[in-house]
Amino acid sequence: MADESVSKDHGRKRKSALAEMFAPVAGFGVSFSTMFRKVATEEYPEKPRPTQPRFHGRHQLNRHADGLEKCVGCELCAWACPADAILVEGADNDDTPLEQGGKGRFSPGERYGRVYQINYLRCIFCGLCIEACPTRALTMTNFYELADNDRGKLIFTKDQLLAPLHEGMLPPPFPMADGMEERDYYQGKVTGPTAAQRDHVAARDERVVVDESPLAHDEPGNIAASVPGEHDVVHTTAPTAAQTREGANP
């Protein structure tokens, strides 16, 4: 029995000695085990990684099928923003003829968003503004490359956030489609501009004078940029995904 006890003690001492000998390199076990694995490096910005379909990126102000803006200047998005990053100033649409000093119509209904700004230094991309919008005017794209070399240029203005005119759309201001009401627009009954709207825009453009244009309204631009409303650092105008998820859940 004594010999067996001595043998066990000798075995424990031997294991303890081995443990003490390899202790300094034991912490490198994870490093050694991963040294020969394939490295999964993302080659950004040469090969940007595609975002998820519901990614919360830069905002976009959408249009109706004829080109009128969906934003009605209600300011609900600004009230819902927990970071106080959104500034909206609404104004009344004016159906007075342009030759009589009218400013024109930019959206269906009574009002439109005359000023729209988002401060991306404050924005946390939570999507609460999207949920608060009653007209689905504001959605979020998959575009995320928002870095710049000037803090002032990260305050995006309406001209930067407004969706581009797709094929067939007309640039506002112009009257609503004949026989249509505001609710008809939001129910999708307007599928494109009418002949009367096209004629109105064509006649409007012929009357425009560069220095005394009745279409000019005092929307503040991006005062930090060399050209108001534009970036000195050029960003791509196309989101990283083709769909902006307009009409979908944020």
35-87 residue pLDDT tens: 888 877 888 888 888 888 889 999 999 999 999 999 999 999 999 999 999 99
Establish whether 71 is an annotated binding residue.
Answer: yes
Q: To which H or E segment does residue 89 belong? A: strand 86-92
Residue 74 assigned ligand-binding role: yes
- β strands within the chain, DSSP E: 59-61, 86-92, 111-119, 138-140, 155-156
Q: Known binder of ligand: residue 123? A: yes
Q: Could you report the per-residue pLDDT of 182-230, keeping only the tens digit for each?
A: 999 989 899 999 999 999 999 888 876 544 544 444 444 444 444 444 4
User: Is 211 annotated as ligand-binding?
Assistant: no
DSSP bridge partners of 118: 86, 156
Annotated binding residue 81: yes
42 annotated ligand binder = no
State the average pLDDT over residues 130-149. 91
Is residue 117 very low, low, confident or very high in pLDDT (cuts 50, 70, 90)?
very high
Distance of alpha carbon 115 from alpha carbon 230, whole angstroms: 16
pTM of model > 0.85: no
- Confirm whether residue 214 is marked as ligand binding: no
The answer to whether domain 59-207 has CATH 3.30.70.3270 is yes
Give the containing element (helix H, strand E) for 119: strand 111-119
- Asked if the peptide bond before residue 228 counts as cis, ω within 30 degrees of 0, the response is no
39 is in an annotated binding site: no
